[in-house]
Amino acid sequence: QVQLVESGGGLVQAGDSLTLSCAASGRTFSSYTMGWFRQAPGKEREFVAAITWSGGRTYYADSVKGRFTISRDKAKNTVHLQMNGLKPEDTAVYYCAATTLQRYYSGTYYQYWGQGTQVTVSS
């Protein structure tokens, strides 16, 4: 049974940094792409970033490019999302997800999801 458990959310001020973590368990993830998505109140879920587990290739949404960094720690089976220069519009519930498919940008193609962690950025 695959489990993804997010942590690291919280309340910060605009311009601050925060790092989210996703602990993955239940299988070998070498063939997976791990993604981060977010959903703000009243808005649709949106892609934030993704990383291929084996090669470490990364992908970012334009809205976070240059501010957020996704990484993975193979030894600890953990994926991180380092978020710098946070803005109020980054406020959302952030979800970790895993997929074996190539369409990393769409949540529709992810098979496993974590429970989410709240990030709130005050102005």
DSSP designation for 85: S
Higher pLDDT, 3 or 27: 3
Token pair listed for 25: 């368990």
Mean pLDDT (whole number) for 102-121: 95
Over 90: is that where the pLDDT of 102 sits?
Answer: no
Residue 104 sits at the vertex; the CA angle it makes with 16 and 67, to the nearest 5 degrees, is 20
Amino acid, single-letter form, for residue 23: A
| pLDDT at position 1 over 90 | no
In whole angstroms, what separates CA 31 from the centre of its chain?
18
The secondary structure of 27-48 as a DSSP string is S--TT-EEEEEEE-TTS--EEE
Residue 80 — very low, low, confident or very high, per pLDDT cuts 50/70/90? very high
Residue 26: DSSP 8-state: S
Mean pLDDT of 60-88: 97
Confidence of residue 103 (pLDDT cuts 50, 70, 90): confident
- Amino acid letter, residue 50: A
